[in-house]
Amino acid sequence: MLGYLSHTRVLRLAGLFTWAIVALPLVYTQYALQDEVALVRPGEGLWLGLAYFAFGACYFWLTRGLNSGGHAHWYDRLLLLVLTICALAVSFLNGSGLGSILMMVAAGVIPWLLPVRLGVAWLLISQLTVLPVYSMLGFSLFEALMQSLLYGGFSLFIFVTSLVARQQTQAREEQRRLNAELRATRLLLAESARINERTRISRELHDLLGHHLTALSLNLEVAGHITEGQAQEHVRQAHTLAKLLLTDVREAVSQLRESGAIDLAAALRPLAERVPSLQIHLDIAVPLNVEDPERAHVMLRCTQEIITNAVRHAGARNLWIKVVKDDGEIVIDAHDDGIGGDVDAIMPGNGLRGMRERLLQLGGRLDVSARRGEGFRLRASLPVVTNMMLASGPQGVN
């Protein structure tokens, strides 16, 4: 049955199951051992229940949609603090070490929220905070310390297990991304090879048949002037057929060149498939043909970088990408529902810098805007053709 679940979902279910099991000793100590003063403090049952259920609610929220990028929102880290306080409150209010068990459950969440060193420090400090509880249970200071470190060791083991799960998620996401890029690039190369083959065939038709038919037509025209009678009539018919054949060759060459455009939509769609923790709403104008393979490659890389940034940095749940042709330009308009930020404070990394450089080399531009809490917006535009491409456009058969 577990084969149908991802390891992150199994981790979440295991933590919730452990949290539910902790309720049994809590109920037992509160109601079955009412005479044990060391374990039960009357009047605190309500606060104990609130701390216990608040822990479950925080854990349920923090383990939603675990992905390779973790949870980047500030309120998730705040909930981690609440989660730890609730676990400590269970120990203090119940007068037992059950809070350390809940701390072990919380250890599975920490690698998705904090760096490794900070997470380990968080674990040790939180476990040592339970020292007074073990002293209340009759342990000496040394024994209480050993008990806290023992639970801390268990928590560290769960922390490392969860850290490995996150690293596996990152590796699987990287593999998925590379596979998507490979599929998109393969489609682009196939389209480029098709265009190159059509161009080669059109050139062969132009250079071989076109020139020979032109020469044949000229010779037949001369022959028509120097022949008489029935022979002249046959020469004129041959001349007419030669001109018709030359016209057909011209049309064939033109059609081969005009149909040599890359289907950019087919190359972009694989990039948006099965992206974990991100819903991509892809809107591509149909048909979306690009005649220059280099321009198609640039737009492919830009789309790939937009998706990567939304997953790794924006903390977004949804990404909208629209690709259209507008006033002689190919335009990618993308925005997400991530954390956003002040556009003046955005430090362009290698991804954004590389996008801008690629676009500028072909006469395009990149516009970026962002506001705190309103996500990230990006607009990449690239001319369909340049003046040089227009000047060296397809030529007919002379």
Q: What is the pLDDT of residues 330-383, one digit of tens each?
A: 888 888 887 766 555 555 566 778 888 888 888 888 888 877 767 788 888 888
If residue 19 lies in a helix (H) or strand (E), which one and from where to where?
A: helix 7-27
Mean per-residue pLDDT for 254-265? 64
Mean per-residue pLDDT for 279-289? 79
Q: Which of 147-156, 280-289, 321-330 has the lowest mean pLDDT?
A: 280-289
- What count of Cα atoms within 13 Å lies in the side-chain half-sphere of residue 169? 24
Specify the higher pLDDT residue, 40 or 112: 112
Distances (CA, A) of 7 to 17, 63, 332: 15, 12, 35
Query: What's residue 59's pLDDT?
Result: 92
| Res. 82: pLDDT tops 90 | yes
Contact by Cβ (8 Å): 366, 336: no
d(CA 127, CA 398): 87
- How crowded is residue 354: how many other Cβ atoms within 10 Å of its Cβ? 14
- Paired tokens of 297: 């490659």
Residue type, 146: M
Contact by Cβ (8 Å): 43, 107: no
Query: What's residue 206's pLDDT?
Result: 65
Query: What's residue 105's pLDDT?
Result: 92
Q: What number of H helices and E strands is found in the chain?
A: 13, 7
Which neighbouring-strand residues pair with 321?
Answer: 282, 334
d(CA 23, CA 14): 15
| Res. 253: pLDDT tops 70 | no
| Res. 42: pLDDT tops 70 | no
Closest to 51 (Cα-Cα) out of 15, 11, 76, 19 = 19
| Res. 38: pLDDT tops 60 | no
pTM strictly above 0.85: no
- Paired tokens of 359: 């676009």
d(CA 138, CA 135): 5
- What count of Cα atoms within 13 Å lies in the side-chain half-sphere of residue 381? 10
pLDDT band at 258 (very low <50, low <70, confident <90, very high): low
* Separation of first and last alpha carbons in the chain: 71
- Paired tokens of 2: 């577990």
Residue type, 23: A
